[in-house]
Chain A
Amino acid sequence: MPPISPHPQPAARSFSLAIAGSGGAGVMTAGNLLLDAAARAGLYGLMVRTSGPQIRGGEAAALLRLGARPVATLDDHFDVLLAIDWQNLNRFGDEIPIGPGSLLIGDADAGEAPEVFVRQGAQLHALPLKKTAKAAGGGWVNMVALGLAGTVAGLPVAALEDALRASWKRSAEALASNLAALQQGVALALALPDPRPEPLVPVALPAGHARWLLSGNEAAGCGALRGGVRFVAAYPITPATELLEWMAPALTRMGGSLLQAEDELASVNMIIGASYGGVPSLTATAGPGLALMTEGIGLAVAAEVPIVVVDVMRGGPSTGIPAKSEQSDLSFAVDGLHGDAPRLVLAPNGIDDCLATAEWAVQLAEALQSPALLLSDQFMGQSRAVIDQPTQAAVPAQRLVAAADTPGYQRYADTPSGVSPMAIPGTPGIAYTADGLEHTERGIPSSQARDHVKQLDKRLRKLMLHDYGPRWADIEGEGELAVITFGSTTAAVREAVERAAAAGTRLRLVSIRLLAPLKPEVLDQALAGVRQVLVVEQNHGGQLLRYLRSRCDLPGRPAGLHRPGPLPLRPGDLARAFIDWAATHPRQPAATGVPA
């Protein structure tokens, strides 16, 4: 078997760096500036944060990957690990894999590098980082790190300096000494002996090629605004709080409002109330909060009130691993309500997609008068990336609203589409009482079999008949073997598929964006000609695999590659797994008489 080329196309090459340290070292700031500088050099990049359990001053690392193409996943190894100090960094041993070609740079005065890093065979360099900072007029050591790491990665000094200047909020003197520290870091980098990992080359972007730098949480908040959300109820929970905090001032500026609730029971009921009043509404939470909201979501289903609930998934179950990512709320999202309660479940598959899919979630919720759960996760939510500026204009949602004085108005009329016009409070002649109790078409509570079946059919039909178009999934490539996934794993899976292809294994990729409702015939179409599927996801129980098998007839013997958080799935591991899996299903000669 030919070796798997880690970088099949030179243009697709990327550079991965980790900057680590503790207690006031400012590694996150350095990482953010590095990402900014990369953007100024015409590159794309992704930054992921990781830290110890202390709220301040503990060990932390900024993990970056930069490249000429959009970056949405970390690589298998880091080209550089630069540690301002080594305290407790062994905690990050699994998260920062390095290899023989990597540079392991530490401060000469900060002691020994932890064994977990040294034994991986990287080139060890001990440099006087703190001393250099001090000598540069008392600049900060993270600026030396910025200059050093940025230069090794191939970023021009001008880009690094511009990033620093643009972010500076303190005195001009302090700026000068930190620029000096940065320049000293550059000098240290230039003085490094070979071998060194090959640096990136800045890109001259075409004029007018606009790009954004933001986190998945911010993107989702922005998408919600685009979709027309104007009321948000908020209860803080890691890792969703930043989405709510971003929306607070933005909503107000757009004439909307945000209310901090006493708990998640309150926040879900608040947005139901606001939406009942005609205002598109949203809340954001994580697993434990979603668990509290289930009764409310069921109410929104039964009363046909549109709401959007963003679930920024984290390690579960229960309190779990709050600051780490996982895709383990899927089963709960698609099935976790009492009664027969169909609802919309969407999952963005990248930081850029958080914006578009949040907007889509609002549009669908409003159009179908249904709750929509948006499954984001900590990886996308709290990581920052350079993305192409969205080109499409915002398309605010449209709700089917009943006209005043409609004769014989029935809120829950059994229409062919299943969507019945909604009366908005303040509209004369058509007042009604929304109800979680089962009801007649007029909305009067009913325990009659006829009414129950009618309403159950209506609420299911409205979701199943809607034409969701091609956005329901990203379907890429040809082949008899398909890999199916959703959410943040998509980027790593996509890269793994590329690498496998370069090694001679052809795979189709299906990344599902609309998880519920799931239309078996649509999935069948996506898998036309596919003999075997492998379902890839970041959870312990293979939730997507189980879900798909329970709803559809998947071809062949469906297999699952599922691993829980907190570590991300890496392209190299996936590529090897795909190739091994494909080898167990060798190509069959074409069968005769089988329709395409």
Chain B
Amino acid sequence: MNDMTEAVKLTAADFKSDYKPIWCPGCGDYTVLGSLTKALSIIGRPPHEVAVVSGIGCSSRIPAYTTCYGFHGVHGRALAAGTGLKAARPDLTVVVTGGDGDGYSIGGNHFMHACRRNLDLTYIVMDNHVYGMTKGQASPTTEPDWDNKLSPGGTGIRSFHPLVIALAAGANFVARAFSGDPNGTAEIVAQAIRHPGFSFVEILSPCVTFRPEQRGWKDLVHPAPVAETNDPARAARRIMTDDGFNIGVLYAGNRTPYARTPAASATLAQIEQEFAL
């Protein structure tokens, strides 16, 4: 979709706070911030009805750079905190953010179960194939032969494929975007937020400091050759031949989202009747 009508009342600027990001100049996360604020302005809910939950890492600094309610939690637990928030406050729009180390390594278990639980959340991972904030160790999406101090010569371990895991574990919306195309990314993120159930968007976001070679990503990414599908089997076949640089929505499904908590139906007195002799 190339034509977009801007939201009538809110602009991206309404969602950007006054705090200046400390990310290195050239970091892909700047444009992700732009895409997120743009997407939120498209959704149209005021900032105070949106919560941005994150873990630890460079990309997890993002909540304070928005005017939404933010929660900068501990390493790897953003999805758990976001799940709790959404379960208790289903009226809010909850966006969970973080990086590949935070999300797929220490957060891996929570990632799998958040997909499976299929609560109406949106999870955005800024993937730069490295642990940036701790100065350059391999993350689960790092190539096996990338030399670094903690694993000299590379880890030798096959890298993690988050879209496969998300689809298999039960996410209802699976997509990949690229920070080099902020408007395309904003569209995908807006679609993800609108889509019911657990929406997962992996955003390739180069790290200018520890992976300067990722500047070449803009020549590697390409639009996915096929349109999105709501058939998990078709999506699964497609994702197994994914080269890691297909951009677009892979899967927008109809899996039943986690049911919202029903309204109160009894009084305390009625409940306590159970004990009465």
Contacts and interface: CB of A to CB of B under 8 A. Distances in A.
A319 to B, nearest CB: 7
A319 B24 contact: no
B152 interface: yes
Contacts of A262: 105-106, 108, 140
Most chain-B CB neighbours within 10 Å: which of A236, A252, A319? A236
A260 B150 contact: yes
Contacts of A340: none
Contact of A288 (B75, B132, B134): B75
Interface string B46-83: 00000000001010000000000000101110000000
B108 A54 contact: no
Nearest to A58: B22
A543 to B, nearest CB: 22
B149 interface: yes
Nearest to A246: B149
B137 A288 contact: no
Contacts of B22: 53-55, 58
Interface in B111-146: 131-135, 137-138, 140
B134 A236 contact: yes
A248 B152 contact: yes
B205 interface: no
B151 A260 contact: yes
A112 B22 CA distance: 25
B74 A318 contact: yes
A235 B101 CA distance: 11
Contacts of A245: 149-150
A258 B153 CA distance: 13
B155 A260 contact: yes
Given A235-B106, A263-B105, A318-B74, A54 B138 contact: no
B75 A260 contact: no
Contacts of B106: 235, 262-264
A252 B22 CA distance: 36
B81 to A, nearest CB: 13
Q: How large is the interface on A (under 10, 10 to 19, 20 to 34, 35 or more residues)?
A: 20 to 34
B214 interface: no
Interface string B214-254: 00000000000000000000000000000000000000000
Contact of A55 (B56, B74, B209): B209
Contacts of A319: 56, 72, 74
Q: Classify the interface of chain B: helix, strand, loop or mixed.
A: loop
Contact of A260 (B56, B74, B76, B138): B138
Interface in A243-301: 244-245, 248-249, 252, 258, 260, 262-264, 288
A234 interface: yes
B152 A236 contact: no
Nearest to A244: B150
B105 A237 contact: no
B152 A249 contact: yes
Contact of B150 (A238, A248, A288): A248
A50 interface: no
Nearest to A235: B106
Given A236-B131, A241-B134, A260-B155, A55 B150 contact: no
Nearest to A249: B152
A319 B77 CA distance: 13
A173 B155 CA distance: 38
Contacts of B23: 55
Nearest to B104: A262
A224 to B, nearest CB: 16
Interface in B1-44: 22-25
Most chain-B CB neighbours within 10 Å: which of A57, A258, A263? A263
B24 A55 contact: yes
A55 B155 CA distance: 25
Nearest to A56: B24
Contacts of A260: 137-138, 150-151, 155
A241 B133 CA distance: 11
B155 A248 contact: no
Nearest to B23: A55
A260 B149 CA distance: 11
Given A55-B133, A236-B131, A263 B155 contact: no
A195 to B, nearest CB: 40
Contact of B76 (A53, A236, A263): A263
A234 B150 contact: yes
Contact of B134 (A56, A58, A238): A238
Contacts of B151: 248, 258, 260
Contacts of B152: 248-249, 252
Nearest to A263: B106
Contacts of B209: 55-56
A249 B150 CA distance: 8
Nearest to B106: A263
22 contacts: A53-B22, A54-B22, A55-B22, A55-B23, A55-B58, A55-B132, A55-B133, A56-B209, A58-B22, A236-B134, A236-B137, A238-B134, A248-B149, A248-B150, A248-B151, A260-B155, A262-B105, A262-B106, A263-B75, A263-B76, A288-B75, A319-B74
Given A55-B132, A241-B134, 14 more contacts: A54-B22, A56-B209, A57-B24, A236-B135, A236-B150, A238-B134, A245-B149, A248-B149, A258-B151, A260-B138, A262-B108, A262-B140, A288-B75, A319-B72
Those 5 A-B pairs whose CB atoms lie nearest each other, nearest first: A263-B106, A236-B134, A245-B149, A262-B105, A236-B137
